[in-house]
Homo-oligomer: A and B are copies of this chain.
């Protein structure tokens, strides 16, 4: 595994340690992390700070030229909201830890030209499986079901 997915997993684990939902993300521009984050639904009572959204927010205001050269890493297949942010900012490539526990909008992203690589990483899968089994109601809230 490369260092960037490792960093996204670290974010997810930090979220879990905070009592939150274990999903993390980093945005990488020309080989450097410019934004990193994790789901903060529990920690901040937030309806919008999924891991990827938190990474976008922490990357700050960026010009289109930076997004155009960036890769987004996320431990879990991105939901409609996070996929929409990826489309808004025209991120050309994302690397996804796994989509076994939740299938996001990968088809939509690919249809719009985003390269989507899925690792099916065992650590990512185990982390989400354990979390969903332990906190099903919280998980359903996070994905709007």
Residue of B59, B64, B80, B108 near A141 (CB, 8 A) is: B64
B-binding segment of A1-9, A85-93, A121-129: A85-93
CA distance A46 to B59 in the complex (A): 9
Across the interface, name the chain B residue whose C-beta is closest to A143: B88
- The interface size bin for chain A is 20 to 34
Chain B residues lying within 8 Å of A88, measured Cβ to Cβ, are 79-81, 143-144
Q: How many copies does the complex hold?
A: 2
Residue of B41, B56, B80, B105 near A48 (CB, 8 A) is: B56
Q: Is the interface of A mostly helix, strand, loop or mixed?
A: helix
Minimum C-beta distance from A6 to chain B (A): 24
CA distance A85 to B83 in the complex (A): 9
Residue of B82, B84, B141 near A79 (CB, 8 A) is: B84
Does chain B have a CB within 8 A of A103? no
Chain B residues lying within 8 Å of A59, measured Cβ to Cβ, are 47
Chain B residues lying within 8 Å of A57, measured Cβ to Cβ, are 46-48
Does chain B have a CB within 8 A of A131? no
Minimum C-beta distance from A34 to chain B (A): 11
Chain B residues lying within 8 Å of A84, measured Cβ to Cβ, are 79-85, 87, 105
Residues of A within 8 A of B (CB): 41, 45-48, 53, 56-57, 59-64, 67, 79-85, 87-90, 105, 108, 140-141, 143-145
